[in-house]
A and B are shown apart, each in its own frame.
Chain A
Amino acid sequence: MGFLDGLLGTKGKLKGAAPDRLFAMTTANVTMETGLGLKSKQCAGVVFQPIATADFKQIVDETEELLAGTAEETGTKVATHDDEYGYRWLILRDDDPDDLVVAMNTVSVELQGAGYGDRLLAAVFAYADESGKQIYFIYNFKRGAYYPFVPAPGTQARNSEEEFRLKAQLARELPWEDDTARWFPLWDIPL
């Protein structure tokens, strides 16, 4: 029914999550810190579209509880944030970057397990360079790929030069999004 669904536009669902390449961040992280002098801001976020139904709320609550439960071993702190675009962030703080990736994965596995994987927008890892400039690596769940995002001063301005350079420097470390038309910015990242 794939072709017909496309032609008729009658598909019942969004594209789900792509095969999981989120964990590539754990190895890339080493190169970033040692080779490029980037510092993890020790926080990361998962942003998703909250659906106003009872079972979705319950799943998000359960996910938060699950994260709080593992937090005792790993020390990961969880906070939520609703942004002005109507999306919800689960913000994770941990001084071990590997724990951040694991916690992110927990969120995506929980939502996908409940059948809401298609509501995941992105995972965002926050870094800063030596001068303190904000650098984000955004993982698009639907495409299973990362892209860099470096906001520049001004309204919705981005430093594309820096982004291209980062992609080149980390060419082999991360599964990159090759289509730059899909390098969607996320403004006002609460990280």
Chain B
Amino acid sequence: MAQQQKAVFPRDPGLAARMLLTMFLLGLLYVVFIVVLLQAGAGLITVVVVMGALSLGQLFLSDKLALSAMSAKVVSPQEAPGLHAMIEKLCIQADLPKPRIAVADTDVPNAFAIGRSQKRATVCCTTGIMRTLSPSELEGVMAHELSHVKHRDVLIMTIASFFASLAAIITQFGFFFGGDSDDNPSFAIVLLVSFAVYIISFFLMMALSRYREYGADRGAAIVTGRPSALASALVKISDAMQRVPNTDLREAQGMNAFFIIPTSVKRTAATLLSTHPPTEKRIEALQRLEAQLQSGGAAIAA
């Protein structure tokens, strides 16, 4: 039986296209980078291998590191029954295996997802966010985090950042030990290319990260069927972020990529430099989804 499934939210070709273009540009940049490295000789291959090992290690250890950086504890169903029950239902809807669930005891209202695969994922939220949000808003936020898991964002961002980290290492290495670059012109070229790759890939990665956020918001709206609940959660969180003192934030710096709202919410910070789109933009996008939902989706996908 050819089943008709109403796409309550029609596909977003614009977002898909922007994401694809960003990924393509990153890929292209990295290919150029590899070619230059190969031209420069074997010494750099060692660097690549070492970085590869480090990157793999990061992928496998990042969940434990992130949880301990946030001093978050994995909680059992007995310790957090409501949270477990909420996430279990979302997992049925999203067709995901159940992730581990962790809670960090801090007033900063936030949530994040980590883990290299759908089976090894952990979603974490703070006690602050559980206090701040209503159940349906919290459900929207958790659905957002589960969408990161579903879309394999940790894996994708780790892969995307691999060559950027490599370029960064070479650049720094070159600045410190590059005194003899006059004698070795090929090294000067590598240094220059690395620096360019570092700068350009940084901007591309930030853009990719922002598109993944829109994607996760969208995923949350689809899973819960309540885009407005997530929009309302974003309003509350961003308000609260500005009130809560920043004491805990330094430790949390490295975690920004997978937070629902970056911990340093500065209106003045250039959009280009941030991992998350501005909250107003995210709310606008969610409101468009709500409008599509209310108008019946219209589009019927076979």
Contacts and interface: CB of A to CB of B under 8 A. Distances in A.
Contacts of B91: 184
Contacts of A54: 294
Given A53-B293, A156-B78, A187-B81, A118 B5 contact: yes
11 contacts: A14-B93, A16-B5, A51-B226, A53-B293, A112-B3, A112-B4, A115-B300, A156-B78, A156-B84, A181-B119, A185-B85
B73 interface: no
Interface string A2-27: 00111111111111110000000000
Interface string A23-50: 0000000000000000000000000010
Which of B12, B89, B119, B219 has the most CB atoms of chain A within a 10 A radius of its CB? Answer: B89
Interface of A: 4-17, 49, 51-55, 84-87, 112-119, 121-122, 140, 142-143, 154-157, 179, 181-182, 184-187
Q: Chain B at the A interface: mostly helix, strand, loop or mixed?
A: helix
B9 A13 contact: yes
A27 B88 CA distance: 29
Interface of B: 3-13, 15-16, 19-20, 77-78, 81, 84-86, 88-89, 91-95, 97-98, 119, 135-136, 139, 147, 150-151, 153, 156, 212, 215-216, 218-219, 222-226, 293-294, 296-297, 299-301
B94 A181 contact: no
Contact of B139 (A86, A115, A155, A185): A86
B93 A121 contact: yes
B135 A184 contact: no
B281 to A, nearest CB: 17
B147 A121 contact: no
A170 B10 CA distance: 42
A53 B11 contact: no
Contacts, number: 132
Nearest to B299: A12
A119 B224 CA distance: 9
Contacts of A4: 16, 20
B5 A184 contact: no
Contacts of B119: 181
B92 A142 contact: yes
Given A8-B16, A12-B301, A122-B92, A52 B3 contact: no
